[in-house]
A and B are shown apart, each in its own frame.
Chain A
Amino acid sequence: MNDLPVIAELLIAALLIIGALFSLVGSWGLARLSDFYLRLHGPSKATTLGVGCVLAGSALYFGLTGTASLHEALIAVFLFLTAPVSAHLLIKAALWLQPGRRPEPPPGGRRAPPP
């Protein structure tokens, strides 16, 4: 590893630790919570934020050591775009497997199309 200023190393280390803790909380929620619709919250929010923090720390590290590139930004943008899409598809699949869990439509609103 190259030599960096202490402030920069502290900042990168803080970003990495925060990201790892968020990711661990997301996986812990996936393993611990009781229902699928509750379990979906952990990986789709906390894990995405944790991986985003780790990618920011990596971008800072490689930017300060002189070989900056757009790879981290590309991965982060792709993850932040695809996490809601996959969560939506998983919710649709779970509602398809348990049709009784589909909530009632709000009063006066447009009725949802039948699945």
Chain B
Amino acid sequence: MILNAVLPWVMGLFVAALALAAWRLFKGPGLPDRILALDTLYINALALLVLVGMQQDSKLYFEVALLIGLLGFIGTVVLSKFVLRGDIVE
């Protein structure tokens, strides 16, 4: 009962967090700001997927969340290395 009432509000808060990160992604003055905004976006999307899994009572979303976590971390590392070295594979 309580969870059914609370879950939409929690998801709305996460969507607001996603919107703020997307605003920084579009506005951000520098390249590191945009990489940081992408990092925040994938972490918040992962939490939102976990919440959707709770709402639908399905464990299918954990694999998706784990995959998003892995690929998002690899993306952040690759973009930072590209800024640092000008190349990804040295």
Contacts and interface: CB of A to CB of B under 8 A. Distances in A.
Contacts of A67: 59
B35 A90 contact: yes
- Tell me the interface secondary structure of chain B in the complex: helix
A16 B10 contact: yes
Chain B contact-residue range equals: 35 or more
A112 interface: no
A81 to B, nearest CB: 9
Interface of A: 1-2, 4, 6, 9-10, 12-13, 16-17, 19-21, 23-24, 26-28, 30-31, 36, 39-40, 42-43, 47-48, 50-51, 54-55, 57-58, 61-62, 65, 67, 69, 71-72, 74-75, 78-79, 82, 85-86, 89-90, 92-94, 96-97
